[in-house]
Amino acid sequence: MSQHRATHDLSAPIPPGAQRQPVGPAVLFIVAVLIAGLTCVLYLWQQSQIVAGKQDLQQLNHTLSVLVQQRSDLEVRAQNLQSVTKVVSAAQQYHMIQGNSHDLVPLTVPSIIRPSTLAQVPPSQQHGIILPATNAAITTWWQNAWDGLYGLMQ
């Protein structure tokens, strides 16, 4: 490579009298092979993505069909358990009889007024440490407790 060519600006326009050297067939072949290879690699990658997507769809369709079948089985079982004949046969099995609405006596249960406090510790038995229920207060109390313990150990 000549010194003149190495220092020449490639983006500069070609003077009218100068000739550009043609690209050889070897360079064209290499570029064509690289483009074809890149196209093949991208095509194969795309096909693998399509196959993986189809497999995922088939698996999801199979899972969906299994779940739909399970749901329909459960619906049939629930309808069977709620059917009148099933309820009547279960009642007869436990020796139950259908009640007459005229024979029923309504019961009225008075409500019990419950006190708001069910149990309370007598004041003499309450613990001496009463902590406010905030995270900062609890953290401060624990920090002071550890500081006090550390001071006792020294």
Give residue-wise pLDDT tens across range 44-54.
Answer: 988 888 888 88
* Residue burial 25-64, b: 16+ Cβ < 10 Å; e: rest: eeeeeeeeeeeeeeeeeeeeeeeeeeeeeeeeeeeeeeee
Identify the weakest region by mean pLDDT among 14-23, 24-33, 133-142.
Answer: 133-142
Judge residue 18's burial from the number of C-beta atoms within 10 Å of its C-beta, 0-12 exposed, 13-18 middle, 19 or more buried.
Answer: exposed
Sorted by sequence, the CB contacts under 8 Å of residue 98 that are 6+ apart come out as: 91
pLDDT tens for each residue of 67-114:
999 999 999 988 888 888 887 888 888 888 777 777 777 778 787 776
Give me Rg for the CA atoms of the chain: 45
Q: Is 145 helix (H, G, I), strand (E, B) or coil?
A: helix
Are the beta carbons of 108 and 118 closer than 8 angstroms?
no
What pTM, to 2 d.p., does this model score? Answer: 0.37
Residue 9 has pLDDT above 80, yes or no: no
State the Cα–Cα distance between residues 115 and 109, nearest whole angstrom: 18
